């Protein structure tokens, strides 16, 4: 009799694994939820695991190598920079993700951050609470309509933000590696330097890769308009934090809103956090009650598919599907 497959859940950002358990039940899977999710604990648990579901915990190369039964590593989310994908691929372990679960949430969060900065909301609220009712506290404020938003990255989230921005009267320009897709959707594709030069607001929606790491550094920031704002709800390491701190301190740009940092948590004494023109949120753009339910279900469905002999909806290393080990997976 074949033993029931074991799914190791490294960490979750919600209360229970009830959704995961329901989705994985037809595959006869048993869930094991790690208590801490650090490498030491995962190394102890992974030898008995057939699959991993991970949110923020790091599934390192050592953890991957310590799981001889592993078939699939499923990410609760879009990016897979917390997973040793190269090591998993070398061992013919499928890696899956959920690229579309929080499209509305992140687009809404980015737009909300933009509006807060431009209208001075993040300054007025704490001022009123301490008894300061002065109009000058949040000045200067600007009109959003008629200005230009530069969207850097035109995946599902960048596209959704661009669509919503039009409703606010913003002109939208986009930099993406597929300019034809941008134009086909009715937006203007531009080069990176032109986007920096023309945009009143720049919003980042790129994955973290070797090419995008540090992409928004001193050169990009120096090329932005003096009154421009930067929004990052993608990955912290896309932005050079020291360069951004200098740009804010020197007034190179008017302000920045960051939902993601490198590292997380950013040290309390980091110079970026000392900048009054920084609006920070603690990596919350992805979250809503609805998106968390979607995420738990979709991530679990990817893992359940592999354990049940079917191809997952999303595969980060799809080249493995042509290997003999996975020839049995049904479409």
* Cα Rg of the chain (Å, integer): 22
Residue 264 is a catalytic residue: yes
Q: What is the mean pLDDT of residues 80-88?
A: 96
| 149 pLDDT above the threshold of 60 | yes
Q: What is the mean pLDDT of residues 153-177?
A: 97
6-101+289-326 and 103-280: identical CATH topology: yes
Q: Determine the number of helices (DSSP H) and then strands (DSSP E) in the chain.
A: 12, 12
Is 269:247 a contact under the CB 8 Å cutoff?
no
- Report pLDDT for 29: 96
* Residue of 4, 211, 264, 290 with catalytic role: 264
pLDDT level of residue 303 (50, 70, 90 thresholds): very high
Percent residues over pLDDT 70 in the chain = 99
| 150 pLDDT above the threshold of 50 | yes
pLDDT level of residue 78 (50, 70, 90 thresholds): confident
On average, the pLDDT of the chain sits at: 96
Place of tokens 């390192």: 60
- Report pLDDT for 3: 77
> Token pair of 132, please?
């300061």
> Token pair of 203, please?
């919003």
pLDDT level of residue 99 (50, 70, 90 thresholds): confident
Residue 163 is a catalytic residue: no
Is 259:284 a contact under the CB 8 Å cutoff?
yes
Percent residues over pLDDT 90 in the chain = 95
Which segment of 44-53, 94-103, 298-307 scores lowest on mean pLDDT? 94-103
Q: What is the mean pLDDT of residues 25-31?
A: 95
CATH of domain 103-280: 3.40.50.720
Which string of DSSP letters, residue by residue, matches 84-142? -HHHHHHTT-EEE--TTTTHHHHHHHHHHHHHHHHHTHHHHHHHHHTT---GGGG----
Quick one: 91 exposed, middle or buried, by C-beta within 10 A (0-12, 13-18, 19+)? middle
- Report the topology of domain 6-101+289-326: Rossmann fold (3.40.50)
Cis peptide before 2 (omega within 30 of 0): no
Return the ∠ at Cα 111 (arms to 214 and 315), rounded to 5°: 60
> Which residue, 208, 219, 142, 205, is CA-closest to 174?
205
Identify which has the larger pLDDT, 268 or 1.
268
* Residue of 160, 235, 241, 301 with catalytic role: 235
pLDDT level of residue 181 (50, 70, 90 thresholds): very high
> Which residue, 252, 263, 208, is CA-closest to 230?
252
The model's pLDDT over 266-296, given as tens digits with 9 standing for 90+, comes to 999 999 999 999 999 999 999 999 999 999 9
- Report pLDDT for 253: 98
C-alpha 243: how far from chain center: 21
| 1 pLDDT above the threshold of 60 | no
Place of tokens 């404020």: 141
pTM value is 0.84
The model's pLDDT over 216-245, given as tens digits with 9 standing for 90+, comes to 999 999 999 999 999 999 999 999 999 999
The domain locations on the chain are: 6-101+289-326, 103-280
The model's pLDDT over 44-63, given as tens digits with 9 standing for 90+, comes to 999 999 999 999 999 999 99
- Report pLDDT for 70: 98
- Report pLDDT for 79: 84
| 2 pLDDT above the threshold of 60 | no
Identify which has the larger pLDDT, 229 or 208.
229
Residue 90 is a catalytic residue: no
Q: How far is CA 121 from CA 137, 141, 188, 208, 273, in A?
A: 10, 9, 30, 30, 18
């Amino acid at each position: 009799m074949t033993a029931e497959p074991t799914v190791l859940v490294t960490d979750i950002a919600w209360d229970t694994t009830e959704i995961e358990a329901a989705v994985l039940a037809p595959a006869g899977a048993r869930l094991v939820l790690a208590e801490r999710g650090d490498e030491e604990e995962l190394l102890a648990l992974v030898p008995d695991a057939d699959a991993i579901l991970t949110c923020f915990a790091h599934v390192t190369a050592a953890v991957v190598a310590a799981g001889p039964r592993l078939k699939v590593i499923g990410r609760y989310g879009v990016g897979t920079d917390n997973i040793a994908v190269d090591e998993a691929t070398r061992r013919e372990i499928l890696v899956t993700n959920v690229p579309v679960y929080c499209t509305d949430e992140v687009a809404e969060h980015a737009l909300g951050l933009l509006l807060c900065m431009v209208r001075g909301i993040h300054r007025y609220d704490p001022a009123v609470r301490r008894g300061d009712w002065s109009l000058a506290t949040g000045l200067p404020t600007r009109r959003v309509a008629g200005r230009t938003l530069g969207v850097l990255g035109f995946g599902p989230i960048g596209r959704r933000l661009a669509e919503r921005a039009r409703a606010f009267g913003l002109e939208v320009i986009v930099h993406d590696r597929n300019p034809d897709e941008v134009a086909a959707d009715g937006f203007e594709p531009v080069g990176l330097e032109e986007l920096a030069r023309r945009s009143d607001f720049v919003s980042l929606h790129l994955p973290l890769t070797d090419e995008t790491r540090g992409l928004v550094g001193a050169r990009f920031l120096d090329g932005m308009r003096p009154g421009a704002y930067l929004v990052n709800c993608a990955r912290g390491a896309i932005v050079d934090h020291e360069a951004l701190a200098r740009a804010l301190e020197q007034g190179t740009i008017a302000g920045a809103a960051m939902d993601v940092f490198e590292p997380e948590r950013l040290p309390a004494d980091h110079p970026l956090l000392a900048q009054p023109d920084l609006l920070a949120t603690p990596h919350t753009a992805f979250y809503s009650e609805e998106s968390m339910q979607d995420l738990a279900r979709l991530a679990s469905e990817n893992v359940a598919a592999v354990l049940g002999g079917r191809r997952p909806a999303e595969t980060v290393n799809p080249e493995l599907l042509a290997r003999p080990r996975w020839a049995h997976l049904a479409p």
